[in-house]
Amino acid sequence: MTTLFICYGNDLIGNDAFGHAVYEALPDSVNKIFTIQLLPELLEKAKDYERLIFVDAAHGSGGVDLYEIHASNDDTADFHHLSAETFLCLLRVLYAKTPKAYMCVGYFDNFQIGEKSANFNTGVNGAICILRGRISGVY
């Protein structure tokens, strides 16, 4: 099964750099892209994969989680803040593609500019272990 990791976040906003840190920690042998935010321009590349794994940070506490996501049935798209579920919806509508999709999220309380939590690296390492362990054939 062909897999693409789509890692995103803003390195300037402390813990929002989670996506980029996971991107850097993934082996070069996997198909991966990093972007500041999800953009419609990424649809063209994503349409060729059978499985997408989105990696992002979120507010909260609870470490790292990995869960399956599905295309949104909401017919509105906010291209300033494109969710992974809306991204999947656009893939379905524009390209008739419905890849298996997962969200790997690191939860952090602090999103201050330039400040990373003490558990940031633990979260990144946890994400890599979860991805390797829970999704077969990732790498």
50-95 pLDDT, tens digit per residue, is: 999 999 999 998 799 999 999 988 656 666 678 999 999 999 999 9
Q: Going edge to edge, which strands form the sheet with 3-8? A: 31-35, 3-8, 51-59, 100-108, 64-69
Residues found in the chain: 139
pTM over the 0.85 mark: yes
